[in-house]
Amino acid sequence: MKKKVLFMLAALLVCVPGVRAAGDPIVAPVIQFIEAFNTGNVDAAYANCAKGDLVIVDEFAPHVWTGPHAAQDWVADFDKNAKATGVTDAKVTYGAPFREEVSGDVAYLVMPTGYTYKLNGKLMHEDAQMTVVMVKQDGTWKIRSWTWGGEKPEAD
């Protein structure tokens, strides 16, 4: 019984920061981007990106995407890489940011993330984090850049 209570308390501690983060207007666009990516709704994902130049750094080639269509180019290269390497069922998870710095109309976030997928049918996972720069445009926070930094993926 004691273990069950401790497990429930631990689950609450993990869940509550995520709920708080989802209600944070600076963090919400990042969460919306991730959730839209997870469901394949790329137009909804793109809606959370800033107008103008965007910068993305990720672990697959060509590793950096810049410009007003960086998100679209990143998705296209992600899909191309997934097909070439046998990746299916990709999903990104996230937690509440453990660092959030706001200075006027710009913000800096660092948040824990994870990546699960199947590699040629074998379940894989990667513990990671995203570092995100946000900018306020037309009164709304948007993603200006992000970097993905993760450990080497492991089989589950």
**5-63: pLDDT as tens digits:** 333 333 333 443 444 466 899 999 999 999 999 999 999 999 999 999 999 999 999 99
Q: What is the CA radius of gyration of the chain?
A: 16
Residues 84-107 pLDDT 10s = 999 999 999 999 999 999 999 999
Which of the following CATH numbers is that of domain 2-155: 3.40.190.10, 1.20.120.850, 3.10.450.50, 2.160.20.10?
A: 3.10.450.50
Domain boundaries, the chain: 2-155
Q: Minimal CA–CA distance to 21: which of 9, 30, 12? A: 30
- Reported as a single tens digit per residue, the pLDDT across 108-134 is 999 999 999 999 999 999 999 999 999
Measured in whole angstroms, the distance separating CA 118 from the mean position of its chain's CA atoms is 18
Between helix 2-23 and helix 28-39 the angle, nearest 10°, is 100
For 111, phi and psi rounded to 5 degrees? -140, 145
8 A C-beta contact, residue 146 and residue 124: no
Distance CA 60, CA 102 (A): 30
Q: Model's pTM, two decimal places?
A: 0.85
Nearest to 145 by CA among 36, 20, 58: 58
